[in-house]
Structure 1
Amino acid sequence: MIPVRVGVFGLLGSGNLGNDGSLQALLGYLRAEHPDAVVDALCGGPEAVASRYGIPATRLHWYRGEYRTASRAGAIAAKGLGKLVDAVRTAAWVRRHDVVIVPGMGVLEATLPLRPWGFPYSLFLLCASGRLFGTRVALVGVGAAAIGARPTRALVRWSARLAAYRSYRDALSRDAMRAMGVDTAGDEVHPDLAFALPAPPPGTPPDPSAHPRPVCVGVMDFHGGDDDRGRAEEIHRRYLDGTTRFVRALAEEGRPVRLLTGDACDAPVVAAILDAVDSPLVTAAEVTSLTDLMKETAAADTVVATRYHNLVCALKTGTPTLALSYAAKSDALMGRMGLAAYCHPAREVDADRLLEQFRALERRSPQVRQTLAERNLVAARQLERQFTALTAALFPGTDHTTARQEAA
């Protein structure tokens, strides 16, 4: 029997831990359910993906300066040429596969600054090539949001329409695609793929009389979304000032604080907070994966975080969590896990109000931990259904559910 050729696609291996965690969860599913599949990637950081996950990987863009601002004529011409070359390269890569999967990630949204001829164009090339060559392209557990810029919206809408399979990580994403003119009648909603990752063993519930466990504060190089470019620096200053004041207040109360990141670009924010607070109680964690993040959040009393997958990791480990929410996806995630009351706007961080919410959350810590344990069991069952649906849609010749039942 000829093995199925599976490609994975996205900004993977580029420093974003959430994207790589989605890939890790997908590879876990493929290795468990389809061990004979031949897997490779077309991605942003092929060297990192190949070394970390043991699969062959090809660079997403021909032009290596794709994500640098082009001001000189030569760089502008190279970028333009790169778009043409990428169309050919992407089509040739897609044609070699039976199935291509885009694992998780916010590939159908513009909640952070985004240019249409960047990743939206790459995703459109992928989905159009899949339709052209009969390769099934699946957008699995992806995030979506309403997009104002017309070129970006058009590319995202057509990418979704051309995909053979779609599922979303929340109902808001499905609703957004429906509002943008995509027929979502057959599309399902399941928890974020990162909830399928194994969590570290649960720690002992915190003892108030013992040495205090840390508060994890997940920070982000946040400048607003795609529609906030005109006031990006103002938003960033307000976010950094409010978060710094919150961390300082915890340190002054004698609380240990661990600063977490979710992307390589967050390092300057960590450095700025450490410099401003200047306390031995405030330290920065070195994390290179969602597994590392989960170990940090599992050891914490409480987590306050901005990045979406910082929140996922904290919730997955059952740690009471407060979201510095920068997009509706964060509010939806917190609501799904029973913590809708513990969201604070990242664009307008008010340190005093944030401290009030934080203390209210800590007072309910035992009840919150119980709620998260229950919600995580529900998420695990829902993701089992996601993977069963994915097998039925992309690997129709294999009935692994029946095989497992017969083996039992």
Structure 2
Amino acid sequence: MKTAPRVGVFGLLGSGNLGNDGSLEAVLGYLRAEHPEAVVDALCGGPEVVATRYRIPATRLHWYRGEYRTASRAGAIAAKGLGKLVDAVRTAAWVRRHDVVIVPGMGVLEATLPLRPWGFPYALFLLCAAGRPFGTRVALVGVGADAIGDRPTRALVRWSARLATYRSYRDALSRDAMRAMGVDTARDEVYPDLAFALPTPPSGASSGTPGPVCVGVMDFHGGNDDRARAEEIHRRYLDGTTRFVRALVADGRPVRLVTGDECDGPVVAAILAAVDSPLVTAVEAASLADLMKEMAAADTVVATRYHNLVCALKVGTPTLALSYAAKSDALMDRMGLGAYCHPARDVDADRLLEQFRSLEQRSAELRRTLTERNTTASRQLEEQFAALTTALFPAADHVHAHATREVS
């Protein structure tokens, strides 16, 4: 009798980052549609949230609960060190129980935001290394990657990618970065971000008179190599974004502030206090679906976080990116809006306002472009999921192919 495949999902899921959770939701949708017999559970950052929201069993990623807090006392440092050893055993035991483990999207092979090597990069390495001796197929699906300067982080990321059974990327830059770091990417494919596979809410954009502008903000302090000037970068980002919102209000435009991670709240509070206008409101989104609804109701979106951009582009709303990494530029270019990127490290409110007005003047044309690009993205993600079935569920793929021949 054939047993149901045991599938694990892995990552910083349920930890407050809506983009990560959106990638998980897309993969769970694929599994439930194409492999409903699969028994699914998670090893993740926020097991309580994942278990409640997605109705799958979930286990905490790290044994030590303070893994991502800075350890200054001797006891905390010792606990972190012990946690590395315990996590090696826990991860191996979890991997061994599965036929397949999927890392759904996320920028797991990059360090475009501050990152320590012995945090998530080490956890990912443990996962991929454990897959080999136990015969568990580990898949990095639609992930983001970037060139990494820090040697320990680069080594862990490179070996994680090498040890994985399957790899695909959310843009060509990611695949190029892994190739440059010494990974053989000859058989690796590029597909749109997994969030483009999520359901799209209907557009509620107003017509005629100028309507609301959705501004996605971020607790931005630069990347992994910007730690020495992180506060300066943050101050310039906040000051420039605040000036831009104030200019919109002066034009009588309603502004909705949105976020993509729990840590972004203080930025919203600072802008609300600085602008102090009833035209500026904020929304706390619980999912990418909530974000999409907000952005579908807007005339225009200006956003920083990568998955804020994904949501806006997916619902077909003309979008301007406050870009903090090459992945944002690549996404905007893929969707036909490459001209509408502005550096998050150096926000010039006057220049940003000029780009915003140009974007709005071309709104009808750009909405048509986004409709075409979204149709292409949907087709490409169907190909991604078909490739995933072939790589990870060969028996199921044979059954599906046989059924197709029977019908034809």
TM-score bin (small chain):
over 0.9
Aligned residue identity for 2:350: D
| Root-mean-square deviation over aligned CA pairs | 1.0
Partner of 2:307: 309
- Alignment-derived partner of residue 249 in structure 2: 251
Aligned counterparts, 1:36-47, within 5 A: 36-47=37-48
C-alpha deviation, 1:223, in angstroms: 0.2
Cα distance in 1 between the residues matched to 2:367 and 2:99: 43
Q: In structure 1, what is the Cα distance between the partners aligned to 2:375 and 2:402?
A: 23
Structure 1 stretch 395-404 or stretch 245-254: which is displaced more?
395-404
Describe the superposition over 1:82-109 as per-residue Cα deviations: whole angstroms up to 9, x where unpaired: 0000000000000000000000000000
Map Cα deviations across residues 22-49 of structure 1 (whole Å, 9 max, x no partner): 0000000000000000000000000000
Structure 1 position 84 matched with structure 2 position 82? no
Match of 1:283 in 2: 281
| Alignment partners' CA distance in 1, 2:49 and 2:108 | 20
What SS does the aligned partner of 1:6 have?
A: strand
Gap regions ≥5 residues in structure 2: none
Structure 2 letter corresponding to 1:187: D
- Aligned mates of 1:401, 1:315 — CA distance in 2: 34
Map of 2:149 onto structure 1: 148
Question: Which residue is 1:206 aligned to?
Answer: 206
Give the total of aligned pairs. 405
Residue by residue, what CA displacement relative to the aligned partner does 1:47-76 show, whole Å, maximum 9, x if unpaired? 000000000000000001111111000000
Task: Name the CA distance, whole Å, in 2 between partners of 1:266 and 1:101.
Answer: 28
Aligned to 1:109: 110
CA deviation after TM superposition for structure 1 residue 404, in Å: 5.5
Letter in 1 for 2:253: R
Q: CA deviation at 1:252?
A: 1.1
1:403 CA displacement:
3.2
Percent identical among aligned pairs is 84
Q: Could you tell me how far apart the structure 2 residues matched to 1:12 and 1:403 are? A: 35
CA contact 1:388–1:401 (8 Å) conserved in 2: no
SS of residue matched to 1:397: helix
Structure 2 contact 142–192 (Cα < 8 Å) conserved: yes
Where 2:396 maps in the other structure, the secondary structure is coil
What is the alpha-carbon distance in structure 1 between the residues aligned to residue 407 and residue 363 of structure 2?
42
Which residue matches 1:61?
62
Equivalent position of 2:13 in the other structure: 12
Shift of 1:11: 0.1
Tell me how far 1:407 sits from its aligned partner: 5.6
1:230 aligns with 2:231: no
Q: Distance in 2 between matches of 1:259 and 1:36?
A: 41
Aligned counterparts of 1:117 and 1:381: Cα–Cα separation in 2:
38
User: How far did 1:362 drift?
Assistant: 0.1
Q: 1:328 — aligned with what? A: 326
Equivalent-residue separation in structure 2 for 1:74 and 1:322 (angstroms) = 46
- Aligned mates of 1:407, 1:26 — CA distance in 2: 27
What do the CA deviations read for 1:323-378 (whole angstroms, capped 9, x no partner)?
A: 00000000000000000000000000000000000000000000000000000000
Query: Residue by residue, what CA displacement relative to the aligned partner does 1:244-295 show, whole Å, maximum 9, x if unpaired?
Result: 0000100111000000100000000000000000000000012010000000
Match of 1:215? 213
Distance in 2 of aligned mates of 1:206 and 1:361: 16
Please report how far the alpha carbon of residue 208 of structure 1 lies from its aligned counterpart in structure 2 after TM superposition: 2.1
Q: Deviations 1:143-184 (Å, cap 9, x if unpaired)? A: 000000000000000000000000000000000000000000
Counterparts of 1:407 and 1:279 in 2: how far apart (Å)? 62
Alpha-carbon distance change, 227 to 186 in structure 1, aligned in 2, over 3 angstroms: same
In the alignment, the residues of structure 2 paired with residue 319 and residue 384 of structure 1 have an alpha-carbon distance, to the nearest angstrom, of: 23
TM-score in terms of structure 2 length = 0.98
Corresponding residue SS for 1:398: helix
Amino acid paired to 2:82: L
